[in-house]
Amino acid sequence: MIQDIYPSRLKNEYHNYRIGEKDRLLVFDREGKTLVGEKDGRAVFPGGKGVDANDAVYLFEVDETRFFLKLGDEHIAEEGFERYAIREVRGKFSRKDVFVLFTGYHLWKWYNDNRFCGKCGHRLLIDENERALRCPDCGNIIYPRINPAVIVGVIKQDRLLITRYRRGYAHNALVAGFAEIGETLEETVAREVMEETGVSVKNIRYYKSQPWGNAQDILVGFFCEADGDGEIRMDEKELKYADWVRREDIELQLDDLSLTNEMMKVFKEKRTKTETSPMVPTVRVVAAVICDSISEKRRIFATARGYGEFKGGWEFPGGKIEAGETPREALIREIKEELEADIELGRLIDTIEYDYPNFHLSMDCFWAEVKNGTLVLKEAEAAKWLSKKELDSVAWLPADITLIDKIKEELSDD
């Protein structure tokens, strides 16, 4: 998705920095078009040289590059730069560049829409201590606007409810809508599906979330099942298409930036529960695909479970995410406990969604390599280093085997 930019990282903590020559400037005109150049397929942003510190506000940092926002309506024109509507950058630049521009646009929209106090009418000032606008007259404080909205994958047996909006984005989508005052997100799911398609739903369950800066949204994804016959009564003011589409017939969007596309994809690839699955607890775990080198990837490390119902089955080492841990923190801890080694994590390969008889497994799988120590088997009964040709030589556990094809795509043939 758009926010998946690892090993890069967005640092969005507010600082009262002053712009310098090495900093980058995000420029938007009155229509919200942004000024961007291009070099070797990458976005190029105007620099901070010659920019008055009073005309720029610090936004965030990515890869030790600080980004600032140009304030005011003064027109800037630089040779080699063009203006793009925010929707145009989605298919133009890399995921990281689009994430920078979407996030910058989110903040530009907030700053631009809140120049005067809504209580007394005085001009607002930028707060020096936090991301806020403050009225010097009445003390009113305005924080960035973030709109909570849901994305809903409605399932009926082997079909997913696919929609297309009457206005705006033209490709396949899912039911979506904003949360209203006084309702939970689950209530938003049920209401939006009923309003747009006339379908009642049950078994509503959280999937994932993502920021979507070009609309100032935080999108929250849910899957659920149709309750009843699933007859569609489409709201023609909102949608131009709504239908139950078989897994194999689902056409994905043109890129992999959106939560909507990922949800369609996991259903298409049979990685989410259907209405024939009982409501069972979800267990969130992490797994490390340890390779000899993240940069080259010739062999991966697999272990045979040494305990429990699946004893002897081959898997990628890892374990449960504990309360308060991020997936990456959990995986580093688990490998230290299971194999007595320190690992360096690469990017997320995939999130596996798999139904076992008594629980639903949600497993975040990361590339990794050993940073310090030797791999010592403290829980597994056996282990092997496997080349690409050897991946099918062991009996993988049901959830782990669904990752093998993706690993084969990246392993060297050597």
The answer to whether the CB of 193 falls within 8 A of the CB of 178 is no
Eight-class DSSP state of 277: S
Average pLDDT over residues 363-371: 95
* pLDDT exceeds cutoff 90 at 239: yes
CA 82 vs CA 27, 35, 69, 75: distances in Å: 11, 6, 17, 13
Q: What is the pLDDT of residue 276?
A: 42
Q: What is the pLDDT of residue 157?
A: 86
| Bigger pLDDT: 404 vs 168 | 404
The pTM assigned to this predicted structure is 0.69
Average pLDDT over residues 372-401: 94
- Listed in order, the ranges of the chain carrying CATH 3.90.79.10 are 147-268, 282-410
E-state strands within 145-281: 147-156, 159-165, 175-178, 201-212, 217-226, 239-246
Q: Six-digit token pair at 53?
A: 């510190």
Q: Lay out the sheet containing 133-134: strands in order across.
A: 125-126, 133-134, 141-142
Q: What is the pLDDT of residue 186?
A: 95
* pLDDT exceeds cutoff 80 at 78: no
Q: What is the pLDDT of residue 277?
A: 45
Q: What is the pLDDT of residue 90?
A: 87
* pLDDT exceeds cutoff 80 at 21: yes
**Backbone conformation region of residue 114, classed left if phi is above 0, alpha if psi is from -120 to 50, else beta:** beta
3-state DSSP assignment of residue 171: coil
Q: What is the pLDDT of residues 272-306, one digit of tens each?
A: 654 444 446 788 999 999 999 998 899 999 999 98
Is the dihedral angle over the CA atoms 188, 189, 195, 200 positive or is it negative?
A: negative
Q: What is the pLDDT of residue 273?
A: 53
Q: What is the pLDDT of residues 83-110, one digit of tens each?
A: 999 989 988 889 999 999 999 999 999 9
Q: What is the pLDDT of residue 4?
A: 87
Helix (H) or strand (E) holding 268: helix 259-268
User: What CA dihedral angle connects 383, 389, 392 and 394, to 10 degrees?
Assistant: -20
Average pLDDT, the chain: 91
Q: Which CATH class is domain 282-410?
A: alpha beta
10-113 — its CATH code?
3.90.79
Q: Six-digit token pair at 125?
A: 């000032």
Dist CA 299 CA 19 (whole Å): 46
Q: What is the pLDDT of residue 103?
A: 96
Q: What is the pLDDT of residue 279?
A: 47
Average pLDDT over residues 236-260: 92
In terms of CATH architecture, what is 147-268? Alpha-Beta Complex (3.90)
Q: What is the pLDDT of residue 367?
A: 96
Q: What is the pLDDT of residues 189-212, one digit of tens each?
A: 999 999 999 999 998 999 889 999
Q: What is the pLDDT of residue 75?
A: 62
Average pLDDT over residues 126-148: 95
Q: Six-digit token pair at 2?
A: 């758009």
CA 188 vs CA 70, 176, 230, 266, 305: distances in Å: 37, 9, 18, 22, 42
Q: What is the pLDDT of residue 275?
A: 44
Provide the pLDDT confidence category of residue 13 given band limits of 50, 70 and 90: very high
Average pLDDT over residues 132-149: 96
